[in-house]
Amino acid sequence: METLGLMSASWTPELQLHTVGNQCRLILVGVTYGNGATMQEAGHDLMARLFDLATAVHSGGYRGAADLGRPSLEVMDFLWEIGEMIRCGGDIRARVLGVPQPRSPLD
């Protein structure tokens, strides 16, 4: 039995880095991308695009391009999860880039 809309929270799209000349493109495969003169700038641009996309999905305002077809349930669940993290004030960079969360002194 398949459960729709309840994918594992551990799935994250592949992250790819491409450089051409002085420009970097960081791609969250199948979701979005970011551009910049450095990898850090490309990462900031990627997070801004992801923020906007996930917020639109979470609020119900997302309207995909008909010519691109429907995104996979895996991608939509990922975007919903990111949108929920944003709503709760979480750090999406840690989730997307695999950056470890700071530990509390009690850990």
Q: Is 32 a residue whose pLDDT tops 90?
A: yes
Residue 1 confidence class, pLDDT cut points 50, 70, 90: very low
Residue numbers of the domain that contains 19: 15-97
Choose between 59 and 4: higher pLDDT: 59
Asked whether residue 8 is domain-assigned, the answer is no
Q: What is the mean pLDDT of the segment spanning 2-29?
A: 78
Choose between 104 and 43: higher pLDDT: 43
Asked whether residue 6 is domain-assigned, the answer is no
- Split into its structural domains, the chain has a count of 1
Residue whose structure tokens are 């994250």 = 12
Asked whether residue 104 is domain-assigned, the answer is no
Asked whether residue 103 is domain-assigned, the answer is no
Per the document, the length of the chain is 107
Asked whether residue 89 is domain-assigned, the answer is yes
Asked whether residue 72 is domain-assigned, the answer is yes
Which residue from 29, 65, 28 is spatially nearest to 48, judged by alpha carbons?
28
Residue 5 confidence class, pLDDT cut points 50, 70, 90: very low
Asked whether residue 60 is domain-assigned, the answer is yes
Eight-state DSSP code of residue 38:
S
